[in-house]
């Protein structure tokens, strides 16, 4: 999970993009300063929605050199790690709630050559991360209940980000914190101030207007608090 700039990153979620013109939407957010492209994989079991599989990940990989951040909201994700890696996934995250042998799963992701991350639903406590933190490159904190784009940010996640940041600094870990769900112009600065390194935004970027400009505006807010 290289990040030479050391600054926080914005990852547009394609869930709210126009799938009939994915290429121009991806190019737009590249121009807008995106640090990676976030792809939401849903199976209709773990979450009540169905989205994309490896074929779309592969198609996106062909049109961008940005890292692909693949967020697996699926049961038994181990079955698909190889396929998503082959399709071009650079960061692969699995939900804590879906995996019985988390250490094995994240080790496998690393063996495949991708950066492993673990995701927590809004109601899953940080304490469950204790024994896995040193094995993952990032923790993704959900700030909505996963399944759909365009939902409202759950404000309690702001303090969860701060708490995780404290835990990581106390343990001297460089694990990055990603936040996903309801991120917009209003909360982006607060999230970075609280300790978030990567912000995912779907609706706020692709919902209306120009995705490049929307991404630039959110990034500007993120940069303001970094100075
Ligand atoms: C939700 C997905 C998110 C979603 C974010 O289940 O994991 O990545 O696309 O979209 P917004 O920013 O619209 O909440
Ligand atoms: Zn996501």
**Is the confidence at residue 4, as pLDDT, over 80?**
no
Determine whether the shortest distance from the Cβ of 122 to ligand 1 is under 6 A: no
pLDDT tens for each residue of 19-51: 999 999 999 999 999 999 999 999 999 999 999
Task: From 38, 41, 120, 109, select the one nearest 73 (Cα to Cα).
Answer: 41
Q: How far is the CA of 50 from the centre of ligand 2 (A)?
A: 13
Please, are residues 105 and 134 in contact by the beta-carbon 8 Å criterion?
Answer: no
For residues 80 and 103, what is the distance between their CA atoms, to the nearest angstrom? Answer: 16
Q: Where are the alpha helices (DSSP H) in 80-153?
A: 81-87, 102-111
Q: How far is the CA of 68 from the centre of ligand 1 (A)?
A: 15
Determine whether the shortest distance from the Cβ of 71 to ligand 1 is under 6 A: yes
The protein residue whose alpha carbon is closest to atom 4 in ligand 1 is 149
The protein residue whose alpha carbon is closest to atom 1 in ligand 1 is 146
Q: How far is the CA of 6 from the centre of ligand 2 (A)?
A: 22
Determine whether the shortest distance from the Cβ of 187 to ligand 1 is under 6 A: no
Residue 183 structure tokens:
């991120």
| Phi, psi at 122, each rounded to 5° | -55, -35
Instruction: State percent of the chain over pLDDT 70.
Output: 99
pLDDT tens for each residue of 56-78: 999 999 999 999 999 999 999 99
pLDDT of residue 226: 85
CA 124, distance to chain mean position in Å, is: 17
**How many CB atoms are closer than 10 A to CB 32?**
20
Average pLDDT taken over every residue of the chain: 97
Mean pLDDT for the stretch of residues 198-215: 98
For residues 52 and 57, what is the distance between their CA atoms, to the nearest angstrom? Answer: 8
**Is the confidence at residue 90, as pLDDT, over 80?**
yes
pLDDT of residue 176: 98
**Is the confidence at residue 2, as pLDDT, over 80?**
no
Q: Please name the residues in contact with 87: beta carbons below 8 A apart, sequence gap of 6 or more.
A: 54, 55, 57, 58, 61
Comparison of pLDDT for 41 and 3, the residue scoring more: 41
In the chain, the DSSP E strands lie at 9-12, 37-42, 68-73, 91-95, 115-120, 138-142, 176-180, 198-201
Counting from 1 in the atom list of ligand 1, the atom nearest the Cα of 142 is 7
Query: Does the annotation count 197 as an active-site position?
Result: no
Please, are residues 116 and 137 in contact by the beta-carbon 8 Å criterion?
Answer: yes
First to last CA, the chain: 23
**How many CB atoms are closer than 10 A to CB 125?**
10
CATH number at 9-226: 3.20.20.70
pLDDT of residue 6: 81
Q: Which residue has the tokens 């993009």?
A: 17
Instruction: State percent of the chain over pLDDT 90.
Output: 96
Query: Does the annotation count 86 as an active-site position?
Result: no
Q: Which of 41, 202, 218 should be mutated for ligand 1, with most atoms under 8 A from CB?
A: 202
For residues 78 and 57, what is the distance between their CA atoms, to the nearest angstrom? Answer: 17
């Amino acid at each position: 999970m290289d990040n030479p700039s050391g600054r926080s990153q914005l990852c547009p979620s394609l869930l709210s993009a126009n799938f009939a013109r994915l290429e121009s939407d991806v190019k737009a957010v590249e121009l807008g300063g995106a640090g990676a492209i976030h792809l939401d994989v849903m199976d209709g079991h773990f979450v009540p929605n169905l989205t994309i599989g490896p074929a779309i990940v592969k198609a996106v990989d062909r049109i961008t050199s940005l890292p692909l951040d693949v967020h697996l909201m699926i049961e038994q994700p181990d079955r698909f790690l190889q396929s998503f890696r082959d399709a071009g996934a650079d960061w692969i995250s699995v939900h804590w709630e879906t995996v019985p042998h988390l250490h094995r799963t994240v080790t496998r992701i690393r063996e495949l050559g991708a950066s492993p991350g673990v995701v927590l639903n809004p109601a899953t406590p940080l304490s469950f991360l204790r024994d896995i933190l040193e094995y993952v490159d990032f923790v993704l904190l959900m700030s909505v209940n996963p399944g759909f784009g365009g939902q409202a940010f759950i404000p309690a996640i702001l303090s969860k980000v701060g708490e995780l940041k404290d835990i990581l600094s106390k343990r001297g870990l460089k694990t990055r914190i990603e936040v996903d769900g309801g991120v917009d112009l209003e909360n982006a600065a607060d999230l970075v101030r609280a300790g978030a390194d990567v912000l995912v935004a779907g609706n706020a970027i692709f919902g209306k207007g120009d995705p490049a400009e929307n991404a630039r505006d959110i990034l500007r807010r993120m940069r303001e608090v970094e100075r």
